[in-house]
A and B are shown apart, each in its own frame.
Chain A
Amino acid sequence: MAKRNKLQNKKITAYQRRQNKKGYKFMLPWIIGFMLFTAFPFLATIYLSFTEVRQTILGFSIKFIGFNNYFMAFFENVDFVPNLLGYLYMIIPYTFVILVVSFILSYLLNKIEHGRGLLRTIYFLPVIIMSGPVMSQILDSASIAGEGEIVRNFTDIFIVQMIFSYSPKFARLLLSVFDQLSLILWFTGIPIILFINGLQKINPSLIEAAKIDSANGWQILWKITIPIIKPIALVVTIFTIANLGAFSTNPVYDLIKKATENTSGGLGLASTFAWIYSVIVLILIGLAFLILKNRDEVRRP
């Protein structure tokens, strides 16, 4: 009996070994690339952020200088902290607006029968043509069309004034969102497709059952649709944070790029900037994860 068991074990391991071999054979290019171009640089940046890097004829001379770079980033460099705050001011409201707007749009798109394909095509279009220069072009075109002035006219609206009297900061944030609505909407292409896909997968009998129990549309939305769609909202949020960061609307990018181009001694500082920035992005993603994760699993005994 024991022998047979052993034999079976051996058989399984042989099979497993073959599977391992085949799997890794196909995965190899990606794994090499990941090690070389992602994992190693990731760790190297942590080290580099504590050093001063100088480019010489022979290569790079790396000198360990402790926390000097961090000190410089936070207390001496005049641009870094404001740019970082600017990034946070941009990313938090933008992500929220993108999430809500793309959900509403896909919810509405799901309700109509005709022209859905055409509208979806229009909403997806920015994904294809969006690039850094095009984005900055749109920002410029907003200023030429005098959209800024239109927003200034918004301050005459009663509700905006009301919000302004409570909290000027929030009102300004709201206005900045309206100011760059075109820009924000351009990031909703992929989220809308994901949301529509999720909405179509909701079992109609679930909604029918709720209707029989005399639930109205509002209740169905909050008690059925949104809980089911929540995992997709998480994916959309993470995608949006990663995607938004990668465009020239991101003030930190410019700073890092300029520091990188300064090869005579800026690389160490640049990696400090990059490292602080990345920690903040990862914290944001972690927060999104905490907010949007399914609470059912916790509640279950």
Chain B
Amino acid sequence: MNENKFIRLIKREKFSFFLKLCIYFVLISISFVYLEPIFRMISMAFMSTTDVIDPSIDWIPHNPSINNIKVASTVLNLKKTLFNSFWFSALLATSQTIVSALTGFALSRFKFKFKNFWIIMIIVAFIIPMPLLMIPRLMMFISFQNILGFNLIGTPIPQVLMALLGQGVNSTILILIFYNFFNLIPYSLDEAAMLDGASPSQVFWKVAMKISASTVLVVFLFSFVWNWNETYVTGTLVRSSIDLLPSKLNMFDSAFESYAAGSRGTAQFRLNEAYKMSATLISITPLLILYAFVQKQFIQGVENTGITGE
């Protein structure tokens, strides 16, 4: 009797071990599907011209060279574009971080009238599709430009203004991250500061912001990455007057498309493809490096939005 039970237990152990193995197999195979485009880009970027044309080479280049990357970086005008992208995204991310912190603080600390209404509006602002808002925004900025007498379209001013007033890329998520973090800070801390005569803005800058340095970092990074990748709003408002990496990549794409039209699979097409992929790889490399260092913070940032139901 006892022995029987023991055997059954072992069988069950074995089965669950087998099940685990299956789960690992599935998860690891799927992670390959996620990474395949990136692997493909890396492999294509390091192929020499003969490797690219040779259809028998699929993944590993025979004569590796960095020629493709060289060509792509000259076409992208890499140094200048990279620099532009950096300051542009950093500027927008800074403004977005400040306004999200202020809004999150207001929502978590004060019980003002129509608070729930504003929370719903913050979520609605996320759902409304961008094109619906972009046309009047564009018209507004063109009208301002005519009144003020200097160019707004083609400069970062409109986007900075929008970011500063909390209408940048995915502002809603950033606000929610701050809102939930501030909810975790005990209110007695604020009270202690206020007893010592601090005003609400002092509480915000000297208490709340000092504790939430890690959250500020997370929000800043998210905002940075999203602004880096954003092309629709930037394409409408800045157009091509500032060379930014993703929009330049877009133009790169359309430029090569006219070369390779209708000739999929030919040598010329594959060669252009290799250049394009190298360009794409270059444009995502800064983000990949960033992610390698702070991936944990990114994931925790999403967990802290608290939209998973508290």
Interface residues of A (CB under 8 A from B): 16, 19-20, 22-27, 29-34, 36-38, 40-42, 44-45, 48, 53, 55, 58-60, 105, 108-109, 111-112, 115, 117, 119-134, 136-138, 140-141, 143-146, 181-182, 185-186, 190, 193-194, 197-198, 201, 231-232, 235, 238, 242, 245-246, 248, 252-253, 256-257, 260, 267, 270-271, 273-275, 277-278, 281-282, 285
Contact = CB atoms under 8 A, between A and B. Distances in A.
Interface string B257-280: 000000011000110010011001
Given A26-B110, A30-B166, A33-B166, A131 B246 contact: yes
Contacts of A122: 31, 34-35
B274 to A, nearest CB: 9
B73 to A, nearest CB: 16
Interface stretch (B6-14, B62-70, B128-136, B212-220): B128-136
8 contacts: A26-B106, A27-B106, A38-B128, A40-B136, A59-B142, A138-B37, A144-B264, A194-B308
Nearest to B37: A138
Contacts of B200: 22, 25-26
B113 interface: yes
Contacts of A235: 307-309
Contact of A181 (B33, B103, B122, B288): B33
A132 B165 contact: no
Contact of B112 (A24, A117, A246, A267): A24
A179 to B, nearest CB: 13
Interface in B80-109: 99, 102-103, 105-107, 109
A123 B307 CA distance: 19
A44 B167 CA distance: 17
Contacts of A27: 102-103, 106-107, 112, 118
A59 B143 contact: yes
Given A30-B102, A278-B128, 14 more contacts: A20-B113, A23-B115, A25-B200, A29-B103, A30-B166, A32-B165, A44-B136, A59-B143, A122-B35, A124-B298, A127-B298, A128-B288, A133-B231, A277-B129
Interface residues of B, number: 95
Contacts of B229: 129-132, 134
B106 A23 contact: yes
Nearest to A113: B20
Contacts of A124: 295, 298-299, 302
A58 B143 CA distance: 9
Contact of A45 (B136, B253, B270): B136
A134 B112 contact: no
B236 A141 contact: no
Contacts of A60: 139, 142-143
Interface string B188-222: 00000000000011001000000000000000000
Given A44-B136, A128-B290, A141-B273, A133 B283 contact: yes
A60 to B, nearest CB: 6
B167 A112 contact: no
Given A23-B110, A108-B27, A137-B253, A37 B308 contact: no
Given A122-B35, A141-B273, A194-B307, A33 B162 contact: yes
B127 interface: yes
Contacts of A129: 38, 229, 284, 287-288, 291
Contact of B135 (A29, A32, A45): A45
A137 B282 CA distance: 13
**6 closest A-B pairs by CB:** A33-B165, A23-B112, A131-B229, A26-B106, A23-B110, A41-B136
A198 B299 CA distance: 14
B47 interface: no
Contacts of A193: 299, 302-303
B78 interface: no
A282 B40 CA distance: 37
Nearest to A256: B131
Given A41-B132, A137-B253, A185 B273 contact: no
A198 B125 contact: no
B246 to A, nearest CB: 5
A242 B127 contact: yes
Interface string B229-264: 111100110000000001101100100000000001
A146 B270 CA distance: 12
A49 to B, nearest CB: 9
A20 B112 contact: yes
Contact of B110 (A22, A59, A267): A22
A42 B128 contact: yes
Most chain A Cβ neighbours within 10 Å, of B102, B133, B164 = B133
A275 B135 CA distance: 11
B23 A131 contact: no
Interface string B37-48: 110110000000
A153 B302 CA distance: 39
B30 A246 contact: no
A63 to B, nearest CB: 14
B225 interface: yes
A242 B173 CA distance: 13
